[in-house]
Amino acid sequence: MIRRLFGTDDSSATLILRLVLGIVFFAHGAQKMLGWFGGDGFIGTMGYFTGVMHIPAPFAFLEIAAEFFGGIGLIVGFLARIAAFGIGVIMLVAITTVHHAFGFFMNWTGTQKGEGFEYHLLVLGMVAFLMIRGAGAFSVDRLLTVSALSRSTGEQSPIAKEGGGHDPAYS
């Protein structure tokens, strides 16, 4: 179970994907949670979600938390699969409740009444990738996986095996 949750490879491509998605969702979450980057902050966002959009307060809170803490989790690579899952749920709900009515394409020209769901679909692809592959290189999940593996098997660090010297994760 733990290996399925934290297990990942040392892929720098996965790192890039994770960081980009994490930064984007941290910024959106910080707008909603802290009022940064021109956002309304927690109270304003909760008011909008519950009053205008009629989202029940527990779900509105979960949306804000998933963007903010999920973004942080992806940036540092901690519980990346759970963070990605939360963001994926947000995207699915956004598509089914709002954006499907406006078609596929984003509203680049300003001629539609709202945004289509192409952005959300791209995010869902990134989420699926991260849920399958894990956090990748330079992640807390990788550090925990490598550390747990070395303790349980007594196996030598991949860095030490390749002649790269001492790996602190195996100490």
Q: Which of 102-111, 118-127, 134-143 is predicted least confidently?
A: 102-111
Radius of gyration of the chain (CA): 19
Q: Which two tokens stand for residue 72?
A: 């942080």
H-helix or E-strand containing 109?
none
155 Cβ contact partners less than 8 Å away, ≥ 6 residues apart: 149
pLDDT at 167 over 80: no
Q: Is 12 exposed, middle or buried (0-12, 13-18, 19+ CB in 10 A)?
A: exposed
The stretch 75-97 carries a mean pLDDT of 96
Cα within 13 Å of Cα(13), Cβ side? 3
Dist CA 157 CA 64 (whole Å):
38
Dist CA 52 CA 61 (whole Å):
15
The stretch 90-117 carries a mean pLDDT of 91
Q: Which two tokens stand for residue 137?
A: 């290189």
pLDDT of residue 151: 73
Tens of pLDDT, residues 29-71: 999 999 999 999 999 999 999 999 999 999 999 999 999 999 9
Q: What percent of the chain has pLDDT over 70?
A: 88
Residue ranges of the domains in the chain? 2-157
Tens of pLDDT, residues 7-38: 999 999 999 999 999 999 999 999 999 999 99
Dist CA 137 CA 77 (whole Å):
9
Dist CA 62 CA 45 (whole Å):
12
pLDDT of residue 156: 54
pLDDT of residue 163: 44
74 vs 168 pLDDT, higher one:
74
Dist CA 15 CA 139 (whole Å):
8
3-state secondary structure of 130: helix
Instruction: Report DSSP state, residue 116.
Output: -
Q: What is the pTM of this model?
A: 0.84
